[in-house]
Amino acid sequence: MKKFLKNIIPIVAFLAIYSCAEDRDDFSINSSVVAPAVVEPSTTTINLVGLQNLPDNPAITLVWNKVDYGVQTPVNYDVEISNTQTFDNVASFSNNNQRTISWTVDELNVQAQKIGLPVEIESDLYVRVVSSLGTDDSVRATSDVITLKVTTYFAYLFDDFYLVGPASRAGWENNNNNPPLFRTEANADKYIYTGYFNADDFKVLEMLGQWQPQWGTDDNVTLAGNPATSSSDPGPFSIAAAGYYTFTYDFANKTFSITTFDDSNSTTYTSITVKGSATVDDIALTQSTFDSHIWYVNGVDLKSGSVNFIDSNGAAWGNDNEFHGTATINGGDIPTTDRNYNISFNDLTGDYMIIPTF
């Protein structure tokens, strides 16, 4: 039997006297809105860990009373959630003129983690409703803030892609320590790989050990792919001359580019290790024999904490973004969650991938 956890969220609206330079003789807004009756929530605690096997079940339904602006016009409602009382990190959900919203277990879990709620720790999730009028969201009124106690479960919210083919170190093998593409911080649908390529062909795989889905190009301009059930494979990407290139892969726009990269002034390191509060001992990365600037280690345990990449000169490379990003020297500490991971690091660019193996 599906569980249905239902909360009723109160909204206490306030509205200052509305003024505007435009002529609104036919548009008189009530400046003394009476707050709706407050109904106490039936529950304010949601343990998503216990519901993770039912990801499509409703986790919570929020309901609020109508805000009376004193005019015959639809009222817009947006629901905002945050991990801070000041709503510094916000996920907003446009609800038009509806006065109820529901999230499934998976939806709430994903959205809570996107705004920064930690995994498997009961934390405060702040919720409010913002009402407004018209297409320009004018005359905004904000409800009281409701505090929910939410425990999320670990969820990796990204797709990973891997090189395959003789232009790469993996050859035509789909589970041969295939190098991952490095996901960009600013756009989770955009991936970059800067490194050495043979003069040959390659493609991109979505799953290690599986040939479909795979991605290539049929016109040398746009991405072409096939689903897992298809036997019609796209054409490959091609490298005309061996050397260093930057391969940019935009999954959302289905575009790609391959440009030459000058590595003549690059530093050659003799070691890269992972070190930090998330490690019991320093973890040595393996230097690729195919490309000396690519480092990797597979199947290592990290605790909840943080790590840095330490080069052979003793410099600490870091960032504040979990799972992927571009590390710089003294760039901060990379946060981690207690899991087993495959790690890749590119010392040409500072790009890193920390991919959970589950």
Model confidence pLDDT, tens digit, residues 146-166: 899 999 999 888 999 999 999
Report the CATH architecture of 162-260: Sandwich (2.60)
User: Which tokens hold the place of 305?
Assistant: 């904490």
User: Which tokens hold the place of 222?
Assistant: 């746009």
Model confidence pLDDT, tens digit, residues 321-350: 999 999 999 999 998 988 999 999 999 999
Q: Give residue limits of the domains in the chain.
A: 1-155, 162-260, 272-356
CA-derived radius of gyration, the chain: 25
Report the CATH architecture of 272-356: Sandwich (2.60)
| The pLDDT of residue 201 is above 70 | yes
- Give the CB-side neighbour count of residue 350, counting CA atoms within 13 A: 17
Q: What is the pLDDT of residue 94?
A: 85
**Span 25-46, average pLDDT:** 51
- Closest CA relative to residue 43, chosen from 83, 6, 4: 6
The DSSP annotation for 285-319 comes to PEEPSS-TTEEEEEEEEE-SEEEEEEETTSPEEE-
Tell me the whole-structure pTM to 2 decimals: 0.72
pLDDT higher for 26 or 318?
A: 318
Distances (CA, A) of 332 to 13, 72, 98, 145, 305: 42, 53, 43, 33, 13
Neighbours of 244 (CB within 10 A): 17
Model confidence pLDDT, tens digit, residues 42-54: 568 999 999 999 9
Residues 6+ apart with CB under 8 A from 97: 74, 75, 76, 77
Average pLDDT over the chain reads 86
Confidence of residue 3 (pLDDT cuts 50, 70, 90): very low
Distance, in Å, from the CA atom of 109 to the CA atom of 55, rounded to the nearest integer, reads 9
Model confidence pLDDT, tens digit, residues 52-98: 999 999 998 888 888 888 878 888 888 999 999 999 889 898 877 88
Distance, in Å, from the CA atom of 213 to the CA atom of 215, rounded to the nearest integer, reads 7
- Assign 246 to helix, strand or coil: strand
| The pLDDT of residue 250 is above 90 | yes
Q: What is the pLDDT of residue 181?
A: 98
Beta pairing class for 237-238 and 224-226: unpaired
Quote the Cα angle for 307-310-316, to 5°: 75
Percentage of the chain surpassing pLDDT 70?
87
Confidence of residue 310 (pLDDT cuts 50, 70, 90): very high
**Span 283-309, average pLDDT:** 96
Confidence of residue 358 (pLDDT cuts 50, 70, 90): confident
| The pLDDT of residue 265 is above 90 | yes
Confidence of residue 230 (pLDDT cuts 50, 70, 90): low
pLDDT higher for 342 or 304?
A: 342
- Assess whether the region 162-260 and the region 272-356 belong to the same CATH fold: yes
| The pLDDT of residue 221 is above 50 | yes
Which residues, in sequence order, are bridge partners of residue 250?
190, 255
Q: What is the pLDDT of residue 228?
A: 64
